[in-house]
Amino acid sequence: MIILIDAGNTRIKAGWVNPDTCERELTVVAFQHADLDQLAHWVGTLPLPPTSALGVNVAGPTVAAAIEKILSKHNCSTEWVTGEPQTLNVTNAYANPELLGSDRWLALLGLAQRPHPKLEHADTTPCPLILAGFGTATTIDTLVVKKAGDETQADNLHYQFPGGLILPGPALMRTALAENTAHLPDANSNTTIYPTHTHQSIASGIAAAQAGAVLRQWLAALEYYGLAPQVFATGGGWPLVKEEVIRLLHFTQGRLDLPTTPIEWLPTPALDGLAALALQLQQSKNLN
């Protein structure tokens, strides 16, 4: 059994994959940085003893060292993955691939392993995919298909990551306003087009900024590649902006006379990417 670790800025998420059966965890667990002792308890409840761990870490070296120490007590070594020029079926166009956040990279790898949502016929051109992650930071990243001849079957798709956006996440925006202004509160409210009190104004402004960033990348993909992209969402901040993102995207699709497409929720794309990578690495070891 291989443990999968996604050490984020706020929480650590953990799962597992069995390389013999490809079986995954039924439920992902999540811990605050201060509650890492719960990780040790969770490892002890696994159906099989872990042989190794594969993870991504954007929480810093102190958190990484704490995780490694806990797992080493179970004779489980930890390997941290970083951005690379190419992994699995994704090519990274970042100027310095190793500087791409490992959580973003593995989340894109996880997305790329899914069946393409609009690929119904062999002669269909696959549309771009956008992954909007609403965490401590919001990241909006795009995958486009690199066509190899006429091969457009799902198992032959190779993607390129051309780049993406980073901006403060919804909660970080709210905290920044509360901590850096004299009179604005730490707002918690619903969103509306024309807010009539301060809490509502802040919540609506934050949602508008997040939705505008998503729409910008959606329009950019439409302009560059000539196909309306499919949007996926992930991250704990999604409920705070979901209504406005959907409203703005569907309004734009209607104005452009394009089909209205739902935004698909992905609970743990980084762990999905780690699982796919772990299975490939295990397969390579078995061959050698």
Annotated binding-site residues read 6-13, 94, 101-104, 136, 198
**Apex CA 198: angle with CA 192 and CA 203, to 5°?**
45
Burial of 223 (0-12, 13-18, 19+ CB in 10 A): exposed
Q: List the catalytic residue out of 37, 103, 141, 186.
A: 103
Cβ atoms 9, 59 nearer than 8 A: yes
Q: Which residues are annotated as a binding site for ATP?
A: 6-13, 136
Beta bridge partners of 90: 87, 159
* Binding site listing for substrate: 94, 101-104, 198
- Active-site residue flag, 35: no
**Identity of residue 212:** G
State the DSSP H helix or E strand holding residue 62, giving kind and residue range, or none if neither. helix 61-72
Which DSSP category does 197 fall into? S
Please say whether the beta carbons of 218 and 229 come within 8 A: yes
Q: Are strands 77-80 and 86-87 parallel, antiparallel or unpaired?
A: unpaired
DSSP 3-state of 167 = strand
List strands edge to edge, sheet with 158-168. Answer: 86-87, 90-92, 158-168, 137-146, 129-134, 230-234, 264-265
Q: Which helix or strand (DSSP H or E) is residue 279 part of?
A: helix 269-287
Question: Directed axis angle between helix 198-225 and helix 238-255, to 10°?
Answer: 50
Catalytic annotation, residues? 103
